Amino acid sequence: MSVVQIILLLIVAGITGMGSVLDEAQTHRPLVACTLVGLILGDVTTGVILGGTLEMMALGWMNVGLAMAPDTAIASVISTILVITAHQGIGEGIAIAVPLAAAGQALTILVRTITVFFVHKADSYAAEGNYKGIERMHLLGLSMQALRVMVPTLIITLISADAVSNFLNHIPKVITGGLQIGGGIIVVVGYAMVINMMDVPYLKPFFYMGFLFAAFTNFNLVGFGGLGLCLAILYIQLKYNNKPQAPTATTTSNGTVAMYDDDLDDDLDA
């Protein structure tokens, strides 16, 4: 791994770490982070496939109140680096990402606890009217989130690919297999949580239709995307374009107001 690649990986790691608390650009999502890492390491295909797989696992991961979700940023970046540099499969990547997400969850709780100090310091600066001090506290807190992912990434990049490969190959199959099964269960649970939150009764037939097409046809994801787009356009047209128009008011020559119905006029012409 070259020095330029290490620098770029650290930049991506810092962006994903900050994205996990900003939530604006969604840079911490596995599909984005894994793809960027794969692009830097010259294997975009593996990055996209691993990112898409981890994305399905992380669909239901979110911070609710004081409950912290597993960390997708550190899991995505480090697992992609290990899979590509050590020439491992997607299954091994999932097995690596699950414990990394749990470790990142504990690490982000630690960092957020530390940033409480910056919050109180910002309050004191606010009482003094020191706007520059408030900005510094915000930047320091954000920098802590960036370093939370950058430091572990730097450690991984400094380890040789052979050492990583030997370590991963010596992990017992019962552990890697169990983590892969657990990752598959997490995918189902995460998807079920999202469906439960998006419970719209009149859209359920389309959801079930997708399962039927997946079970009894050979459609790929591109075909399903096109089919879903066509069904969405058809649904919108049927719902909004076929409603009866309201009668329009027109003023006659003698000053009276007459109501004119386009639909009724069309019926009479027919």
> What does the alpha-carbon distance between residue 50 and residue 8 come to, in Å, rounded to a whole number?
19
Q: Is the pTM of this model over 0.75?
A: no
Identify the pLDDT of residue 237. 86
Both tokens of residue 164?
């990583």
Question: What region, left, alpha or beta, does residue 42 occupy, with left being phi > 0 and alpha being psi -120 to 50 degrees?
Answer: left
Q: Which residues does residue 249 pair with via DSSP β-bridges, in sequence order?
A: 259
Is residue 76 within 8 Å of 54, Cβ to Cβ? yes
pLDDT score at 232? 86
pLDDT value at residue 171: 67
pLDDT beneath 70, residues of the chain: 23, 59-68, 160-171, 176-177, 179-191, 193-194, 197-198, 242-270
Task: Please report the pLDDT score of residue 186 as a whole number.
Answer: 62
What pLDDT shows up at residue 63?
A: 61
Give the residue among 231, 247, 228 at the shortest CA–CA distance from 239. Answer: 231
Q: Say what the pLDDT of residue 264 is.
A: 44
Q: What is the pLDDT of residue 4?
A: 85
Give every CB contact of residue 247 below 8 A, 6+ residues apart in sequence.
259, 260, 261
pLDDT at 246: 55
Q: Looking at residue 65, what is its pLDDT?
A: 56
| pLDDT value of position 27 | 80
- In order of 103, 192, 231, the CA distances from 195 in angstroms are 27, 5, 19
Residue 78 has a pLDDT of 86
pLDDT of 50: 83
